Structure 1
Amino acid sequence: MRIIAGTLRGRALAAVGKGDPSAHLRPTTDRVRESLFNMLAGGRFGDPFEDAVVLDLFAGTGALGFEALSRGAARAIFVDDGRTANTLLRENIRLLGVAEHCRIFNRDASRLPQSDDSPATLVFLDPPYGKDLGARALDTAAAAGWIAPEALIVWEENAPQNPLPGFNLLENKRYGDTHVTLMTAPPDSRGR
């Protein structure tokens, strides 16, 4: 895996190795990530990366958050409770030299505490497929003030996802067996 574009373009991420099957560590492939980021940067969504605060829920290797940092995001907050994922996140931060732009929460994405940070303007949500964890994590993050009003949400799953109440569905895209649902947070999502 590597960074596709931006200031870190071409830089390799830590090898996943055997991964963590029990934690369903399933990194987004370079091809899907490239298609996704090209779509996001295509102008329809403005520039969702410039100075963004990124919340990467179920972060795994952090590839989505690191790609956003490479393309101009100011900071990335990575959330994952997997031991292997947290090791990979720390190694990738070291390899890319972006520690001052990153924060890691080693915890269940559906159990975030009240935010003490700036709310995210760009949220990546890549839960284990078919476990119904994404909606809980997104609802918790919004209620705890982690998501800015009208933030762009990018949700990867094995099927298109329905937006939570108040969230606005933008579109669903399919990349092989990966479905990406794009939506925006409600105008009043902070502290819902």
Structure 2
Amino acid sequence: MKKPSISAASAAASAPHEVRIIGGQWKRTKLPVADRPGLRPTPSRVRETLFNWLGQDLSGWRCLDAFAGTGALGLEAASRGAVEVVLVEQDGALLANLSRITTQLKATGVRVERGDGVAALRQRAGQGLDAVFLDPPFGDGQNEALYAAALAAARQAVQGDGVIYLEAPRVWSADELAQIGLQVHRQGKAGAVAFHLLRPLPVQ
């Protein structure tokens, strides 16, 4: 939920200072955007599209936001009823923001976890999550291995009819995704951001 394919300086100049949760019990709650190199929250219009696809009521869902950043994706899910949301983040300043926000919201179903998003997903292989949110650093297009590893780990962490949200600097093809055991359910593009809603391919 974070990084663009432009320079860190340009990203810092154009990044918003806050974003808002757009639906559910915490609608309009402001989330601070820290001044961190490359931090770029998922745009509101993209989040709105995603949660129109997922449905407005996520009651009972178990979710993991693997590269949480501002927490906008995971907290949006929790606001709409997800019973368990794990926000995984490595950056200490962003982690502190997430902990403060979840405390202010009294978000008892949300857990903030410091660590690597891929490792966190691998630890949850076979746990049958309902949704995984993936928005790794764009890295100026140099993070292909990270994307592939995150997708593969997410595939093992979600249940058979679960969903994986992927935000990336390019569109991932059906053939590439099929090699990881995934298929496109919905996809779109907003500026330099390609976003995908993926589902596991049926086990043969």
Which residue of 156, 179, 184 corresponds with 2:167?
Answer: 156
Q: 1:65 Cα shift? A: 0.7
| 8 Å contact kept, 2:47–2:73 | yes
Q: Does 1:2 align with 2:17?
A: no
Over the aligned positions, Cα root-mean-square deviation in angstroms equals: 2.2
| 8 Å contact kept, 2:66–2:88 | yes
**Aligned twin of 1:25:** 39
Which residue of 70, 86, 90 corresponds with 2:79?
Answer: 70
Identity %: 34
Misfit runs of 4+, over 4 Å: none
Report the Cα distance in structure 1 between the residues aligned to 2:101 and 2:126, rounded to whole angstroms: 22
Report the Cα distance in structure 2 between the residues aligned to 1:84 and 1:160, rounded to whole angstroms: 31
**Aligned twin of 2:50:** 36
Pairs within 5 Å for 1:133-148: 133-143=146-156, 146-148=157-159
Give TM-score, length-normalised by structure 1: 0.81
Alpha-carbon deviations, 1:123-165, whole Å to 9, x = none?
111111132222212213444xx32222111101111124252
| 8 Å contact kept, 1:75–1:101 | yes
Q: Does 1:165 align with 2:174?
A: no
Alpha-carbon deviations, 1:88-124, whole Å to 9, x = none?
21122122210x2012221111223533995310111
SS in 2 for 1:124: strand
| 8 Å contact kept, 1:150–1:186 | no
**Aligned twin of 1:89:** 98
Give TM-score, length-normalised by structure 2: 0.76
Q: 1:53 Cα shift? A: 0.5
Pairs within 5 Å for 1:109-148: 109-112=117-120, 113-115=122-124, 118-129=127-138, 130=141, 131-132=143-144, 133-143=146-156, 146-148=157-159
Amino acid in structure 1 at the alignment position of 2:165: V
Amino acid in structure 1 at the alignment position of 2:161: E
SS in 1 for 2:123: coil
Report the Cα distance in structure 2 between the residues aligned to 1:116 and 1:123, rounded to whole angstroms: 12
SS in 2 for 1:34: helix
**Aligned twin of 2:10:** none
| 8 Å contact kept, 1:170–1:183 | yes
SS in 2 for 1:128: coil
Report the Cα distance in structure 2 between the residues aligned to 1:12 and 1:117, rounded to whole angstroms: 34
Report the Cα distance in structure 2 between the residues aligned to 1:105 and 1:186, rounded to whole angstroms: 29
Q: Which sections of structure 2, spanning at least 5 residues, go unmatched? A: 1-18
SS in 2 for 1:60: coil
| 8 Å contact kept, 1:69–1:75 | yes
Looking at secondary structure, tell me which structure has more helix per residue.
Answer: 2
